[in-house]
Chain A
Amino acid sequence: EPEVTQTPSHQVTQMGQEVILRCVPISNHLYFYWYRQILGQKVEFLVSFYNNEISEKSEIFDDQFSVERPDGSNFTLKIRSTKLEDSAMYFCASSDRINTGELFFGEGSRLTVL
């Protein structure tokens, strides 16, 4: 069964460092998403991406965050200068269409900022 894969599964970084989280969505999907879950809190929407541009973003997704689909298969989330409060599980998801499209989630990348 096709799946969304994410790397790394866990990354530890120092505050102020740049982090790139990588995702390989399901191959025929067109819509891509990043969500995050701070420990003990809700899963929160960060950003959606379609046709090589951001289609929607939350207020969490400030200038420190960026997304990119560099090569037609990977979908990356970059955090330019990490803060302690960026520590969370980051989930990538993809779907093949917007209406009635199911979101398929990856297993997540746990980011720990020290």
Chain B
Amino acid sequence: AQSVTQPDIHITVSEGASLELRCNYSYGATPYLFWYVQSPGQGLQLLLKYFSGDTLVQGIKGFEAEFKRSQSSFNLRKPSVHWSDAAEYFCAVRRSNDYKLSFGAGTTVTVRA
């Protein structure tokens, strides 16, 4: 069964600083990979996804993620965070012909002024 690990439960970053959120997955083949963001009181919004091709994917809100097969990782990055980026971030994975997403436990990002 596939699993997703987000090693960092909580990250605090200063506004304007860079941000990197880690995600590792366990799966036999290359899965479909996703990052979602959940702002307080909101639903899950897709930031970006990887299915195949270029391993560096660009998403919304200035986020990008890099798929590294050798490390089974799909880390999310943003060069300069804004206060509005304070939220919970979830990495998720599914197989190409599967219906369900498996989510990581999430990383809460706090942005300080």
- Complex-state Cα separation, A56 to B99, whole angstroms: 7
CB contact between A58 and one of B98, B100, B104 (< 8 Å): that residue: B100
- Complex-state Cα separation, A30 to B86, whole angstroms: 33
What interface size band does chain B fall in? Answer: 20 to 34
Count of chain A residues with a beta carbon within 8 Å of a chain B beta carbon: 26
Q: Which residues of A contact B90 (CB under 8 A)?
A: 43
Which of A14-22, A77-85, A99-107 has 4 or more CB atoms under 8 Å from chain B?
A99-107
B103 beta carbon closer than 8 Å to chain A: yes
Query: A43-B90, A104-B46 are known contacts; what are 13 more A-B pairs with Cβ within 8 Å?
Result: A33-B99, A35-B101, A43-B101, A43-B103, A44-B103, A45-B101, A48-B100, A50-B99, A56-B98, A56-B100, A102-B49, A106-B43, A108-B43
Residues on A lying within 8 angstroms of B by beta carbon are 4, 31, 33, 35, 41-45, 48, 50, 55-56, 58, 91, 93, 98-100, 102-108
